[in-house]
Structure 1
Amino acid sequence: MARFHPLPVTAVDRLTDDSVALTLAVPPGLREEYRHAPGQHLTLRRVADGVEIRRTYSICSPAPAPGADGPRTLRVGVRLVDGGAFSTYALKEINVGDELEVMTPAGRFTLEPAPGLYAAVVGGSGITPVLSIASTLLAREPGARFCLIRSDRTTASTMFLEEVADLKDRYPERLQVVTVLSREEQQAGLPSGRLDQGRLTQLLPALLPVGEVAGWFLCGPYGLVGQAERALRSLGVTKARIHQEIFHVDGGTASGPASTAPANSTVTVRLDGRGGTWPVRDGETLLETVLRNRPDAPYACKGGVCGTCRAFLVAGEVRMDRNFALEPEETEAGYVLACQSHPRTETVELDFDR
């Protein structure tokens, strides 16, 4: 069960004009709880003017090896979002010595290190989880190679520029880095411009043997991830080899038509070993119903992106507004996103503990 703990900030490193990296110390008694797989994320919480704000940020530091102690520190990257309540706070107010409420790691955008060729297409802050994935893979598995294709606006806006360069210096024969800038010409390398489906379809086969890549990791804005997936599918890559994590989705992208929930619907929930049954108010998501009665229910983005509120549908039927977090095999197995789910039957039963 995911839980929040206060962790002290030990470093605030400015990455670009609009982004920082926060380093958090993990006390010995909590290190097992914060053991994470490469690519997982943390949810940070604060209360401002009586309103609770939660935001999810990927861990960029390498994951601890199996059998080793849990992490002594955790590092996340935060990019400023226009009007962002938490990102503005992170860039302008957080200082060394402050304590942040941090949920234990979650997320399934991960890679278990194994021999083979892996690749990533990332945009902007999408580099954050991939930096953890690549650094962990290359350190643990001598038989692995990694190709990183990253898209940024300009060199000055590129997050973790030095960290990626250091990783390239450490593994020059096993790490390939390709950078495309959309608003700045480079003296060497690829021409500037956006990475869309057409460009990626031509570029990827020129960089690496696409069919030999064991796993593709796509991370960043919704548009780039979608374009990259379509390019890969057109090149014959199976969906099972494509892993996605979206950092931001604009409104108006619901995946299904709206429908009215049955009158007098109820949801029965198992959460952290305890159960309860409550009525669903008209227009509520199942997560909203649960939170009215169990404030400890897990959630972060409430936008169908992070997957923190994943639950197993034990009984009944639901309609999800949108889903950018669950893989097809997860939905086929019966998992749903509580933050996007509305009842389609009078009774629905969810299990957050599976």
Structure 2
Amino acid sequence: MFHPLRVAEIERLTDDAVAVTFQVPAELRETFRHVPGQHIALRRTVDGREIRRTYSICTPASDEPALRVGIRLVEDGEFSTYALKELAVGDTVDVMAPSGRFVLAPRPGHFVGIVGGSGITPVLSIVATLLTRRPDARFCLIRSDRTAASTMFLEEVADLKDRFPDRFQLVSVLSREDQQSGLPSGRLDEERLREMLPALLPVASVDGWYLCGPYGLVQAAERALRTLQVPRNRIHEEIFHISEPTPAELAAATGSSPSLPGAAAPLRASARSTVTATLDGRAGSWPVLDGEPLLETVLRNRADAPYACKGGVCGTCRAFLVRGEVRMDRNYALEDEEVTSGYVLACQSHPVTEEVELDFDR
């Protein structure tokens, strides 16, 4: 469900990024209370066409939620272009309640974030909340940006260094610009991370790794951590800006094997399938059109079905698979444990069996 919220402030962060703060009325404070790391979906309608995008909340969790998101301009991005060039203080934007499972509820321990570009946004909320609430917690932030001028939330991160000098470690890498001090410039690829992380940290004793940013960086960091024997359940990921997947990416995202000569045939969608979906306590059953993702089937009959990106990234359309079997095209939002427990992304799911049942309320 969306709520119209007034834009209270727009702050220019870099030439191509802004921070937008929304005013949350008293009656919606509980609705917009967030766990550090969550995101919100924003909606606008242009010529009768609905545009939805998700943006991570960068403010710490608090009793009186301050709703601030970072928005970076994406090439040909319909919403980001609007946010940077047209959106003004006093305007109203439709905003969905916070969601997402790339979160860290404050607890004791040693945690690390590896982020690239705008991937700093949710991790900023995680770090600020954790260090403020837990004096027995430490955090190391490893961030990669193109240049110093393109780095988002410089002041906020510097403030954390000043406030928590003994418990906050910052490592900055620029991929396209030399630094006067610190690490040499260049991309954080798998090989570099594999060599760098043990020199910086006691890898085996880190309680949680939070990887956020472009697909390439997140996947390189995960591979490096797995090579360093980090258990998969300590690695948490959120991908930004996914393009159409290659066969290798698709196989990695779905946990299946790509079609190769001599390989077992992949699961195929059923030609005649029906989906039953429960949403807000009401259930309905509808035929699935040929090649149609289950989310589209539900949306044709229930306009209130939850979704944002439709790209398998944000996880807004997560649903529990009650019965039947589905094939997911891609999955960059659900943890392995969620998939094992029976959750799927409706926007990426195609029916394999003739009858499929989803529960969006679980």
Q: With the length of structure 2 as denominator, give the TM-score of the two structures.
A: 0.94
> Pairwise mapping of residues 313-324 of structure 1 onto structure 2 (< 5 A)?
313-324=321-332
Is 1:230–2:223 an aligned residue pair? yes
Counterpart of 1:282? 290
SS in structure 1 at match of 2:150: coil
Deviation, structure 1 residue 295 = 0.7
| Equivalent of 2:10 in 9, 12, 16 | 12
What CA distance in whole angstroms lies between the structure 2 residues aligned with 1:155 and 1:263?
A: 53
What CA distance in whole angstroms lies between the structure 2 residues aligned with 1:263 and 1:171?
A: 58
Letter in 1 for 2:277: V
Tell me the C-alpha RMSD between the 2 structures. Answer: 1.0
> Pairwise mapping of residues 76-225 of structure 1 onto structure 2 (< 5 A)?
76-225=69-218
> Pairwise mapping of residues 243-322 of structure 1 onto structure 2 (< 5 A)?
243-253=236-246, 254-255=250-251, 260-322=268-330
What CA distance in whole angstroms lies between the structure 2 residues aligned with 1:225 and 1:148?
A: 14
Q: 1:207-256 deviations in whole A, cap 9, x for unaligned?
A: 11111110000000000000000111111110010000001212134335
SS in structure 1 at match of 2:58: coil
Letter in 2 for 1:333: S
Change (3 A) 1:348 1:70: farther
Equivalent residues of 1:126, 1:247 under 8 A apart: yes
What CA distance in whole angstroms lies between the structure 2 residues aligned with 1:157 and 1:113?
A: 30
Aligned length: 347
Equivalent residues of 1:260, 1:283 under 8 A apart: no
Identity of aligned residues (%): 71
What CA distance in whole angstroms lies between the structure 2 residues aligned with 1:245 and 1:150?
A: 14
Deviation, structure 1 residue 116 = 1.2
Equivalent residues of 2:109, 2:206 under 8 A apart: yes
Q: 1:275-323 deviations in whole A, cap 9, x for unaligned?
A: 1000000010000000000010000110101100000000100000011
Letter in 2 for 1:273: G
SS in structure 1 at match of 2:308: coil
What CA distance in whole angstroms lies between the structure 2 residues aligned with 1:244 and 1:282?
A: 32
What CA distance in whole angstroms lies between the structure 1 residues aligned with 2:226 and 2:160?
A: 29
Q: 1:106-155 deviations in whole A, cap 9, x for unaligned?
A: 00000011111100100000000000000000000001110000000000
What CA distance in whole angstroms lies between the structure 2 residues aligned with 1:188 and 1:295?
A: 53
Deviation, structure 1 residue 263 = 2.7
What CA distance in whole angstroms lies between the structure 2 residues aligned with 1:260 and 1:107?
A: 29
Q: 1:10-65 deviations in whole A, cap 9, x for unaligned?
A: 1000000000000001000000011110000000000011110000000000012x
What CA distance in whole angstroms lies between the structure 1 residues aligned with 2:92 and 2:186?
A: 41
What CA distance in whole angstroms lies between the structure 2 residues aligned with 1:260 and 1:321?
A: 11
> Pairwise mapping of residues 17-96 of structure 1 onto structure 2 (< 5 A)?
17-64=15-62, 69-71=63-65, 73-96=66-89
Deviation, structure 1 residue 5 = 0.3
What CA distance in whole angstroms lies between the structure 1 residues aligned with 2:91 and 2:193?
A: 43
SS in structure 2 at match of 1:43: strand
Deviation, structure 1 residue 264 = 2.3
SS in structure 2 at match of 1:331: helix
Equivalent residues of 2:269, 2:327 under 8 A apart: no
Equivalent residues of 1:268, 1:278 under 8 A apart: yes
Runs of 4+ in 1 over 6 A off after TM superposition: none
Q: With the length of structure 1 as denominator, give the TM-score of the two structures.
A: 0.96
Letter in 2 for 1:19: A
What CA distance in whole angstroms lies between the structure 2 residues aligned with 1:207 and 1:56?
A: 33
Task: Note the residue ranges of structure 2 that are not aligned, 5 or more in a row.
Answer: 260-265
What CA distance in whole angstroms lies between the structure 1 residues aligned with 2:81 and 2:194?
A: 37
Equivalent residues of 1:267, 1:347 under 8 A apart: yes
Counterpart of 1:325? 333
Task: Note the residue ranges of structure 1 that are not aligned, 5 or more in a row.
Answer: none
Equivalent residues of 1:34, 1:70 under 8 A apart: no
Equivalent residues of 1:41, 1:56 under 8 A apart: yes
What CA distance in whole angstroms lies between the structure 1 residues aligned with 2:270 and 2:121?
A: 42
What CA distance in whole angstroms lies between the structure 2 residues aligned with 1:242 and 1:119?
A: 10
What CA distance in whole angstroms lies between the structure 2 residues aligned with 1:329 and 1:158?
A: 33
Deviation, structure 1 residue 259 = 5.8
Equivalent residues of 2:269, 2:326 under 8 A apart: no
Equivalent residues of 2:8, 2:22 under 8 A apart: yes
Letter in 1 for 2:27: G
What CA distance in whole angstroms lies between the structure 1 residues aligned with 2:320 and 2:108?
A: 33
